[in-house]
Structure 1
Amino acid sequence: MTSNKHDFEELATPSVAAKELGISVATLRKYSLIVEKVTGNSDYYERTKQKARLYRKQDISDLDAFQQLSKKSNLTLQEAARQIYAVSDKKTEDKKRAEKEKSQAIATDLMDTQEVVKLLNTLQQTIANQNQAIDTLQKQLTRVEKQNQELLEKQKELAAPADPQEKPALAAPEEKNVEIPQTREEEREIESENEDEDEDQVHDEIITKAKENAKKRATANVHRTLEDMQIPMKRKKHWWQRFLNS
């Protein structure tokens, strides 16, 4: 027979276990009661639906050690059971502890996995936020560059002349270098030349003036015609308009 607690493990009935131990079923029942009392666990052995005990191979081995210890020593059955099943309980506890530690390790691994997943999600969100911030900064940088370009173009327009056809102002004529005479003789020569130029200029002005006067006299001697002496119509007024205008 098998049990749900020990899958795939063969369990022996009391008769089979008693036969293997070389004792009667009643003696086996007695030993089993002592073991349950010493361990303080009435469900130490597996049972059938009819509450009959079932024995594992380890249980049969422990009962055999218990029986041999009680025969070879002066210990009572209870004392022998305490020694045997204290070791057996320790092994069971160690096994349970190992299973518990293993379960805790698995749970820890699961928690670590969950923490790693959580951390990865946080990192992904952080990366997404950083990418969004970088995209925003890139747009701002593009806008600033565009504004700078516009400012540079306006500055060039202000620096350029208002009228492209406007001619640049003529440069002031260069002053001629006047040689300064170094000696008294050179100064006298320059003064003599200036006097000659003044005399020639005065003579030319006198002749020009004489020509103009002669031309004016010739024009003044010409007789005026009757038409020239007529008063223009727009100027002509009746004699009685003089009294009205006065």
Structure 2
Amino acid sequence: MTKVKSNNLLTPAQAAKNLGISVATLRKYSLIVEKTTANNQYFERNSQNNRLYTQKNIENFKEMVKLSHGPKMTLETSAMQIFPAADAKIEESNGDNKKVEELQVTVAKLESENKKRELTIKELQEELNDAQKAKEQLQVELDTLKQQAQEKVQSADSHEDETIKERVNEKVSDDKKGHWWNKFMN
């Protein structure tokens, strides 16, 4: 607490007049700032424990009010943007930072696992392609062997046909000669 009043420090009435607001509104703004900074002694005080304001405080209040008129902004959120946060807020943000870091580590692990899976999939696809090529080659060989077997069967069939023809011809010629008993019968 400062007991000495300086010329550059304004009383609540002077500061409120400078801002064009009531002393009660100034008190509300001051409480918001003290809550945001988590510092009840953020503003200088006189011997009666009344807040005293600097020109910088007045400018910050004007900026806070101006920001609060933006979309989805309140006096509290605009105060958070203008006034420095207290250690408690820093600790919260550090906690948030730790959570963010943990999430980033988790994301990195998941990305790593995903890359490993992609490599495994790629290797399996290559193996599948090789297996399909091998299957196609085996199919060609099988078709060739079937064709060769068919040709051998046809060749054997034609050879067997010739053998049968020869036997039939022998039989017919034997019939012309007659059977052995025909020799005795004539």
TM-score by length of 1: 0.32
Larger CA Rg, structure 1 vs 2: 1
Of Structure 1 and Structure 2, the greater helix share is in 2
Q: Which has the higher contact order (CA 8 A, sep 6+)?
A: 2
